[in-house]
Amino acid sequence: MSALTSCEGSAPPDVVNPYERFGAFPSASGLYDPANEHENCGMAAVATLRGEPGHDIVDHALVALRNLEHRGAVGGDVGSGDGAGLLTQIPDEFFRAVVDLDLPAAGEYAAGIAFLPQAEGERRSMCEAFEEMALEQGLVVIGWRDVPTDSSMIGKLARDAMPYFAQAFLKLADEESLEFQDSASGTLDQRAWRLRKRGQNRLGVYFPSLSSKTITYKGMLTTAQLEPFYPDLSDERFKTTLGIVHSRFSTNTFPSWPLAQPLRNIAHNGEINTVKGNRNWMRARQSMMSAELLGEDPEFLYPICTPGASDSTSFDEAAELLMLSGRPLSQAMRMMIPEAWENHETMDPALRAFYQYHAMLIEAWDGPAAIAFTDGQQVGAVLDRNGLRPARYWVTDDGLVVMSSEVGVLGLDPASIVRKGRVAPGMMFLLDTVEGRIIEDEEIKASFASKEPWEEWVSENLIALEDLPERLHVRHPPGSVRVRQQTFGYTQEELKILIGPMASTGAEPLGAMGTDTPIAVLADRPRLLFDYFVQTFAQVTNPPLDAIREELVTSMGIHIGPSGNLLSTGQVKSRQISLDVPVIDNDQLAKISNIRNEDNVKVAMKVRGLFRVGSTEEEFRQRIRDLCEQVSAAVNRGVTYIVLSDRDSNAQWAP
């Protein structure tokens, strides 16, 4: 036990975001924002089907990692890597040998490496507060271990940002002696999750993992530096049946100790292009979330997706939330990265209903991606719906399984390979280290499809727009169209060269072949509203897609209506309207504007989305606040559909 447990000091100082404390990137400035962190990397998973852990799996994983060096990157000082790491099962035999602590049986204690400040006084204060926080969650910190490290080979950038490393060991507290009975609920891992989230949000302590099943060793390192930096990984007593490794290349951003991968449950190669919307929706759902996992006082757990973290980290945090709320991790992955089911005409109806139902709960996290994942027992991999990132696997005659973003990460004897293949879009590669077998994709899908009466749940909650009663058709005079075109800034060029040819021929106009005009935000005159909104992505690593030619794997469908409790594993009552495209006509709008619930009570309300022309900035902000209060009051009255209208705009009121 280290001196960390003999904490003496005052309350923790103002919280410093660990992504800033232990990173080499600057603060947000100008057009740069650390929230736009993306990466493009190499990853691999190594596991055995023999059922017994061994150090050979660690060795194989580290060899695979070193062979992914070309997928990572190095800083200008040569010795600072963009990131490398290894995720394994808890090495119980190793921990019992190296710590002088009375550890409970395997699986009954949680362990994780804490990234702490280098300043001793601040570190002691943080430890003391963390231990008190653990008691509030029904946990006891058994003790701490200083993690041996060798920083002699790392570069100045990595060393300047390097944290102090200490392993924490926790167990469930004696329930009868707790003063905080109400907040001490859930399993060991659920409590550890709450403790970790609170510790990061309130204290600034960062854990790459804190679990009873897995542990992550990672850092701002190159692939060759990871093992010598963490001597633990060379110890023969460090045994596991699975290992996931990752070599990080920061596509257009800066490296950081916390942003290195693997994360708590995944290793990701690619980008989540929709991450901004995904984060916003996760934040919007917080008020609807309810589960034992969250405990009695969840505000210190929010936001679920940590500000300043990468797209991969946000994905991992959302997947972890779904898993700890009671879903298998494999199901959580398929909720977040569904296969292209919308236009799959031969798909099993029950499986289609599985995807359709979950599309009402959570939107897809979309973008080029190959993701390896594990819950500590099962390890698997999935691709994005288009298969824009590669993943291949090999199985040998002695039960060794290797999955990687490329061929050749391990020098396997071709004669020993009994099975090999590639992970295809829509397919899930999954193996169970306890059962000692590969779970076939057909079996996985069958288990998803048969788990609940998805078709019944969809029919009870999903409303097709064509099934809503027809409303009076309103014909608007042609002059009103010209007024709205002028209001929103349409020009003769856009009407004649772009919109006109598309409307008359259905083909892409010549005017769409390129533009040399300034981006909208820098233009001298106001532009169309749509010009200010573009998809953000790392252009160098994203291939172009044609939604017409690739219609089997693309979709513009959306769901509108009330959201339910994302964390509920039972049926969620939230009647939503399904739209094939987000653009509707006046008759369809009239249907939505007059929708009624099962008691024949109107649940839609029109809100005038207008502000007074000539308003000051503060008046404009106040108008937005007034609109929000108006909508909030309507929701409290039972309204579930809001129509934000610009129809009443005039010379005094602008949209």
CATH of the domain at 103: 3.60.20.10
CATH number at residue 553: 3.20.20.70
Question: Who wins on pLDDT, 175 or 133?
Answer: 133
3-state secondary structure of 15: coil
Pairing label, strands 611-612, 641-645: unpaired
Looking at the structure, tell me whether residues 361 and 488 fall in a common domain: no
Looking at the structure, tell me whether residues 511 and 453 fall in a common domain: no
Average pLDDT score over residue span 327-351: 96
In the structure encoding, which two tokens stand for residue 379, read together? Answer: 């390890």
Work out the angle at residue 227's Cα, subtended by the Cα atoms of residues 225 and 232, and round it to the nearest 5 degrees: 145
Listed in order, strand segments (DSSP E) in 10-162 are 42-48, 84-89, 109-116, 139-146
Q: Is the dihedral of CA 614, 620, 622, 624 positive or negative?
A: positive
Looking at the structure, tell me whether residues 554 and 448 fall in a common domain: no
d(CA 253, CA 81): 13
Q: What is the structure's pLDDT at 24? A: 63
Q: What is the DSSP letter of 519?
A: P
Average pLDDT score over residue span 163-173: 97
Q: What is the structure's pLDDT at 332? A: 98
Looking at the structure, tell me whether residues 452 and 467 fall in a common domain: no
Looking at the structure, tell me whether residues 469 and 505 fall in a common domain: yes
For residue 11, pLDDT beyond 50: no
Q: Give the number of other Cβ atoms within 10 Å of residue 185's Cβ.
A: 17
For residue 28, pLDDT beyond 80: no
pLDDT in tens, 465-484: 989 999 888 888 888 888 88
Average pLDDT score over residue span 400-427: 95
Helix, strand, coil fractions of the chain, as percent rounded to 5: 35, 20, 45
Looking at the structure, tell me whether residues 451 and 563 fall in a common domain: no
Question: Who wins on pLDDT, 179 or 164?
Answer: 164
Does 628 qualify as catalytic in the annotation? no
pLDDT in tens, 416-431: 999 999 999 999 999 9
What is the three-state SS of 110-132?
Answer: EEEEEEECCCHHHHHHHHHHHHH
153 touches 216 (CB < 8 A): no
- Give the range with max mean pLDDT: 31-45, 66-80, 638-652: 638-652
Report the chain's mean pLDDT, rounded to a whole number.
89
Of 395, 428, 458, which one is at a domain's C-terminal end? 458
For residue 39, pLDDT beyond 70: no
Average pLDDT score over residue span 486-490: 86
Does an H or E element contain 522, and which?
Answer: none
Looking at the structure, tell me whether residues 256 and 174 fall in a common domain: yes
Question: Who wins on pLDDT, 461 or 10?
Answer: 461
Looking at the structure, tell me whether residues 487 and 441 fall in a common domain: no
Looking at the structure, tell me whether residues 80 and 32 fall in a common domain: yes
In the structure encoding, which two tokens stand for residue 611, read together? Answer: 């502000």
153 touches 227 (CB < 8 A): no
Q: What is the structure's pLDDT at 16? A: 81
Q: What is the DSSP letter of 203?
A: I
For residue 236, pLDDT beyond 50: yes
For residue 253, pLDDT beyond 70: no
- What band does 179 get if pLDDT is binned at 50, 70 and 90? very low
Of 408, 433, 458, which one is at a domain's C-terminal end? 458
Nearest alpha carbon to residue 48 among 407, 394, 329, 447: 394
Q: What is the structure's pLDDT at 9? A: 35
Domains held by the chain: number: 2
Looking at the structure, tell me whether residues 477 and 553 fall in a common domain: yes
For residue 176, pLDDT beyond 90: no
Q: What is the structure's pLDDT at 650? A: 87
d(CA 354, CA 367): 21
Of 428, 458, 488, which one is at a domain's C-terminal end? 458
For residue 243, pLDDT beyond 90: yes
Q: What is the structure's pLDDT at 18? A: 84
For residue 393, pLDDT beyond 90: yes
Q: What is the structure's pLDDT at 560? A: 93
370 touches 246 (CB < 8 A): no
Q: What is the structure's pLDDT at 537? A: 60
Average pLDDT score over residue span 527-541: 71
Nearest alpha carbon to residue 149 among 190, 109, 118, 111: 118
- What band does 486 get if pLDDT is binned at 50, 70 and 90? confident
Cα-Cα-Cα-Cα torsion 288, 199, 331, 44, nearest 10 degrees, comes to: 150
Q: What is the structure's pLDDT at 448? A: 97
Nearest alpha carbon to residue 178 among 121, 135, 233, 146: 135
For residue 34, pLDDT beyond 60: no
Q: Is 258 exposed, middle or buried (0-12, 13-18, 19+ CB in 10 A)?
A: buried
Work out the angle at residue 582's Cα, subtended by the Cα atoms of residues 286 and 309, and round it to the nearest 5 degrees: 40
Average pLDDT score over residue span 573-580: 90
**Active-site entry in 41, 127, 305, 628:** 41
User: In DSSP terms, which residues pair with 417 in a beta bridge?
Assistant: 396
Strand order, beta sheet including 378-383: 266-270, 369-374, 378-383, 428-432, 437-439
d(CA 494, CA 498): 5
d(CA 532, CA 520): 6
Q: How many helices (H) and strands (E) does the chain have?
A: 18, 22
- What band does 515 get if pLDDT is binned at 50, 70 and 90? low
**What is the domain range of residue 288?**
3-458
Q: H helices of 490-549, where?
A: 492-493, 500-505
CA distances from 421 to 57, 390, 395, 438 (A): 21, 11, 9, 13
d(CA 61, CA 55): 10
Does an H or E element contain 642, and which?
Answer: strand 641-645
Looking at the structure, tell me whether residues 558 and 434 fall in a common domain: no
Question: Who wins on pLDDT, 142 or 646?
Answer: 142
Give the global pTM: 0.90
Backbone angles phi, psi at 643, to 5 degrees: -105, 110
In the structure encoding, which two tokens stand for residue 378, read together? Answer: 């099962």
For residue 135, pLDDT beyond 50: yes
Q: What is the structure's pLDDT at 511? A: 65
Average pLDDT score over residue span 124-138: 95
Question: Who wins on pLDDT, 314 or 35?
Answer: 314
Average pLDDT score over residue span 547-574: 88
In the structure encoding, which two tokens stand for residue 578, read together? Answer: 């399904």
Looking at the structure, tell me whether residues 388 and 511 fall in a common domain: no
3-state secondary structure of 202: helix
Query: Which of 218-222, 352-356, 385-389, 416-420 is least confident?
Result: 385-389
